[in-house]
Amino acid sequence: MARKRTTITMEVTRFRPGEDSEPTLQSYEVPLRKEWAVLDGLNHIKDHLDGTLSYRWSCRMGICGSCGMTVNGKPQLSCATFLVDYAPGPVRVEPLRNFPVIRDLVVDISDFMTKLPKVKPWLIHEGETPEGEFLQTPQEMDEYKKYSMCINCMLCYSACPVYALEPEFLGPAAIALGQRYNLDSRDDGDRRDVLASAEGVWACTFVGECSTACPKGVDPAGAIQRYKLTAAVAALKDFLLPRGARR
């Protein structure tokens, strides 16, 4: 007789530096409820089964970017990925790939935090700031809007084989955020020195997995491709035109 399953097995990575030499998997049985995200399963473990499990979370609504994990091999926001979609299980929850593991499911993202300021992710405006607002039509906003949607969740870095092999690579989100300002009609900044460097767009060989992994539709792969063309055209202009005629 087929009875509806009421629980699901979660296999969770455990790693405590000093105590474990490498990560291991630990299994827990958690209730399988229609509404439960993978994160609810982890919270159940933490609250009722094993208080020593560590992971990051905050908003539980897919906007703070804290809760990225590898769920059954794919980078996901654990608060926006649901247990029922993995039934009957088991569902395997591991830390995000391509980052050092600090503990259990917590990874070290300081590499991204040092790279982010390099692309100058702020508005650079030459000339006077207007008394009121800068005018910007909805069409002008559409130019950069999707690149401004990045929640810094790091799923794209986790999906990117170039980042895995070449840790110097600025990476999808940082480049997309540079492009976000480049394409803003209010911005006059020049980010070419960073974006068009060897660690910038040219390191990308277009795997495209970053855009597939992105939960917010940012399309970092598109941002990178687009900037490659911009950078190539700019380099060509530098080569062909006398200094004064460039812009």
Partner 1 sequence: MSAYRQPVSTFWWLHQWSYLLFVLRELSSVFVAWFVVYLLLAVSAIADGPAAYQDFVAWSGGGWVLVLNVVALAFVLLHAVTWFALAPKAMVVPHVPPWVVLVGHYLAWAVLSAAVAWLVLR
Partner 2 sequence: MTAFHNIVVVGGGGAGLRAAVAIAEANPLLSVAIVSKVYPMRSHTVSAEGGAAAVIAEGDTIDEHAYDTVSGGDWLTDQDAVEAFVEEAPKELLRLEHQGCPWSRRPDGHIAVRAFGGMKKKRTWFAADKTGFHLLHTLFQTSLSCSDIVRYDEWFVTKLLSDEGRVHGVVAIEMATGRIETIIANAVIVCTGGCGRVFPFTTNANIKTGDGMALAYRAGAPLKDMEFVQYHPTGLPFTGILITEATRAEGGWLLNKDGYRYLQDYDLGKPTPEPVMRSMELGPRDRLSQAFMHEHAKGRTIDTPYGPVVHLDLRHLGAQVIDTKLPFVRELCSKYERIDPVKELIPVRPVVHYMMGGVHTDINGATPVEGLYAAGEVACVSINGANRLGSNSLPELLVFGARAGQAAAEYVRTLQKGSTSAAYAQGRDEERRLTKELRKHDAGTERIADIRTEMQTTMEDGAGIYRDGDSLDKAFVKLHELRERFDRAAVDDHSTTFNTELVALLELDFMLDIAQSIVACAIKRTESRGAHQRTDFPKRDDEKFLAHSLVHRPNKVEYLPVTITRWPPGERVYGR
The enclosing H or E element of 192 equals: helix 192-195
CB of 3 to partner 1, least distance (A): 35
- If one asks whether residue 61 binds partner 2 (CB under 8 A), the answer comes out as yes
Beta-strand pair 24-31/7-14: antiparallel
- Answer with the entry of ligand SF4, partner 2, partner 1, none that 52 interacts with (C-beta below 5 to 8 A by kind): partner 2
Q: For residues 19 and 160, what is the distance between their CA atoms, to the nearest angstrom?
A: 30
Work out which of 154, 160, 175, 201 binds ligand SF4, going by CB under 6 A. Answer: 154
Binding mask 67-86 for ligand FES (x = CB under 6 A): x---------x-x-------
CB of 209 to ligand SF4, least distance (A): 10
- If one asks whether residue 65 binds ligand FES (CB under 6 A), the answer comes out as yes
Would you say 66 or 89 has its CB closer to ligand SF4? 66
Cβ partners under 8 Å of residue 207, min gap 6: 160, 161, 162, 221
Count of chain residues binding ligand FES (CB under 6 A)? 12
Would you say 43 or 211 has its CB closer to ligand SF4? 211
Q: Quick check: helix, strand or coil at residue 74? A: strand
**Contact yes or no for 159/210 (Cβ under 8 A):** yes
Work out which of 7, 185, 197, 212 binds partner 1, going by CB under 8 A. Answer: 212
CB of 238 to partner 2, least distance (A): 26
Count the residues in the chain. 247
- Residue by residue, DSSP assigns 95-121 as PPTTS-EEETTEE--HHHHHHGGGG--
| E strand spans, the chain | 7-14, 24-31, 68-71, 74-77, 91-94, 101-103, 106-107
- Answer with the entry of partner 2, partner 1, ligand FES, none that 210 interacts with (C-beta below 5 to 8 A by kind): none
Judged by the rule CB under 8 A, the positions of this chain that interact with partner 2 are 16-19, 35, 46-48, 50-52, 54-66, 80, 102-104, 106, 108-109, 113, 116-117, 120-123, 125, 129, 132-138, 140-141, 144-145, 148-152, 177, 181, 184, 186-187
